[in-house]
Amino acid sequence: MASAIEDLLYMGAIRLEKDKAILSPKFSLVVSNIRDSMKMQVASREDVMKMMYYSLLIYMNEQLKLPKSLTMALGNDMESHRESMESGTLVTNYVAVLSEIWSQNSSVQ
């Protein structure tokens, strides 16, 4: 998970503040937009993971400037073959870290 945190810091999706990780403002905006546009209920851990997964894909496209076709292909491949893809393991770890950070910080507010 330390590697996932390092990668997310590098991507600018999270940042460290006062000895804890928080979602970056840009990533938080994507999360908020996803939650609002999809009218997502985040009542369970699975809901939070799904929201973070979609948010990460959109963030990669919009903020990291990955081509939309590549981002969509990655998302489609992940949904079909995640267990057999090395990138599937990485994205799953990213989503787990993002979900944990979101859950910890949203319960504080």
Question: What is residue 84's DSSP assignment?
Answer: G
Instruction: Show the DSSP H helices in 12-67 as ranges.
Output: 25-37, 45-62
Find the angle CA(27)-CA(8)-CA(70) to the nearest 5 degrees. 75
pLDDT value, residue 54: 94
Q: Structural domain of residue 34, as residue ranges?
A: 2-108
Rounded distance between C-alpha atoms, residue 42 and residue 74, angstroms: 24
pLDDT given at position 41: 74
**Residue 91 contacts residue 13 (beta carbons within 8 Å):** no
Tens-binned pLDDT, residue by residue, of the chain (109 aa) = 899 999 999 999 999 998 899 999 999 999 999 998 888 777 788 889 999 999 999 999 999 999 999 999 999 999 899 889 999 999 999 999 999 999 988 764 4
Helix (H) or strand (E) holding 17: strand 14-17
Q: Cα(100)–Cα(59) distance, rounded to whole angstroms?
A: 18
pLDDT at 109: 43
Give the number of domains in the chain.
1
